A = this chain, B = another copy of it.
Amino acid sequence: MIANTERSKACLDRIKPHLKQVEAAILEQANAFDPAVSGYIEYLLDTGGKRLRPNLAIVTGGAVGGEPNGEHRRLGLILELIHIATLVHDDIMDGALMRRQIPTASAKWGQSLAVLLGDALFAHALQLTSEFEDSAIPRLITQASKDVCTGEIIQTQRRFDLNLSKKDYFKIIEMKTGALFAAATEGAARISSDDPSMAENLRDYGMKLGTAYQIYDDSLDLLGNEADAGKTLGTDLEKGKLTLPVIHLIEQATETQKTKLNKLIINREPLDTGILAGIADYEGAIERSLQDARSVLREATDCLAGLADTPYRDGLLGIAEHVETLVDSCQVSSY
């Protein structure tokens, strides 16, 4: 399925006021903290992030039935806050100095404060879940949060493990990124519909979209331009995180080449990510990863087949196409 461009634009117009409300609500959350803390939280919230999860919750709300409402906005708000909290903790673990063109919390205020700010933001986000009428929504949100942590834990365990399979990699990224996307789409579907197959299809859409997005993000880390990305790149491999392009490269390597990769990655000789990216590109491993992302995106849009023909459905298709554009942009930058 492909989006009707006109209708996809109509969807954008319709969701704009909702997104504006969510953005305002995100920034307002700083006021819900002790004055000693709210300044830090404000800094974390006002990052000009893409707000993908609120976007998904709102568009799905419209696509499943009627118009998006306050519960969809609240779902988007909560998931975005959880997302920001996980980024704060991620940046500690990765030792990342910059995110979205500004210093990370851990770079700015040190690890201890960053751990606590992430915790406080997470606690606050989960406090907001008590306002949902249907108690299935809070459960879904906390389960997704647990999945994010679990995915990250498995990723941390498997650092520098050259036996990490494509299957393992997909499990990791489904948990660490797919879970919150899926919570946005499944949660929004459950808010608007009692049909369990509707919820399941939208969950699958979100999960696959998130998976494809993470493959893009991982490829960007290997290939990308820091100034464009606004964050420290090339950290995945340095930290021993094997991402899809590298897994493809290892899979197709000869024994001699494996020894060379081993030397490059495991022995942690000063690692020039540029060289590894060059090799991965030359061997077609990056292209294969991007193809994987595209094929997951096709599966994502297939999950939307049962939706009524509305601008919001085109909106969901449009989001998938936007991710595909990102995937394509990765390819362009490589040779």
User: In the complex, what residues of B have CB within 8 A of residue A120's CB?
Assistant: 146, 149-150, 153
User: In the complex, what residues of B have CB within 8 A of residue A36's CB?
Assistant: 150, 153-154, 157
Question: Could you tell me the distance between the alpha carbons of A60 and B243 in the complex, rounded to whole angstroms?
Answer: 52
Q: Does A37 make an interface contact (CB < 8 A)?
A: yes
Q: A153, B37: Cβ atoms under 8 Å? A: yes
Closest-by-CB residue of B relative to A158 is B36
Interface residues of A in 33-51 (CB under 8 A from B): 33-34, 36-37, 40
Question: Could you tell me the distance between the alpha carbons of A232 and B152 in the complex, rounded to whole angstroms?
Answer: 29
Known A-B contacts A117-B153, A153-B113; A130 and B139 likewise in contact (beta carbons under 8 Å): yes
Q: Which stretch (A121-129, A259-267, A304-312) binds chain B?
A: A121-129
Q: B40, A116: Cβ atoms under 8 Å? A: no
Interface residues of A in 140-191 (CB under 8 A from B): 142-143, 145-146, 149-150, 152-154, 156-157, 175
Closest-by-CB residue of B relative to A38 is B150
Question: Could you tell me the distance between the alpha carbons of A93 and B119 in the complex, rounded to whole angstroms?
Answer: 13
User: In the complex, what residues of B have CB within 8 A of residue A138's CB?
Assistant: 127, 129-130, 138
Q: Which of A86, A124, A142 has the most CB of B within 10 A?
A: A142
Known A-B contacts A115-B92, A119-B122; A139 and B127 likewise in contact (beta carbons under 8 Å): yes
User: In the complex, what residues of B have CB within 8 A of residue A152's CB?
Assistant: 116
Q: B153, A127: Cβ atoms under 8 Å? A: no
Known A-B contacts A138-B130, A139-B130, A146-B127; A156 and B93 likewise in contact (beta carbons under 8 Å): no
Q: Does A89 make an interface contact (CB < 8 A)?
A: yes
Q: A115, B127: Cβ atoms under 8 Å? A: no
> Among the listed B123, B126, B135, B142, which residue makes an inter-chain contact with A149, where contact means beta carbons less than 8 Å apart?
B123
Q: A124, B153: Cβ atoms under 8 Å? A: no
Q: B142, A130: Cβ atoms under 8 Å? A: yes
User: In the complex, what residues of B have CB within 8 A of residue A150's CB?
Assistant: 33-34, 36-37, 120
Q: Does A334 make an interface contact (CB < 8 A)?
A: no
Known A-B contacts A119-B89, A153-B40; A124 and B146 likewise in contact (beta carbons under 8 Å): yes
Q: Does A112 make an interface contact (CB < 8 A)?
A: yes
Interface residues of A in 9-35 (CB under 8 A from B): 33-34
Residue numbers of A with Cβ under 8 A of B are: 33-34, 36-37, 40, 86, 89, 92-93, 111-113, 115-120, 122-124, 126-127, 129-130, 135, 138-139, 142-143, 145-146, 149-150, 152-154, 156-157, 175
Given contacts A34-B154, A89-B116, A113-B156, 5 further A-B contacts (CB under 8 A): A36-B157, A113-B153, A119-B119, A122-B122, A130-B135
A-B contact pairs, 6 of them (CB 8 A): A36-B157, A89-B116, A89-B119, A93-B115, A123-B145, A130-B139
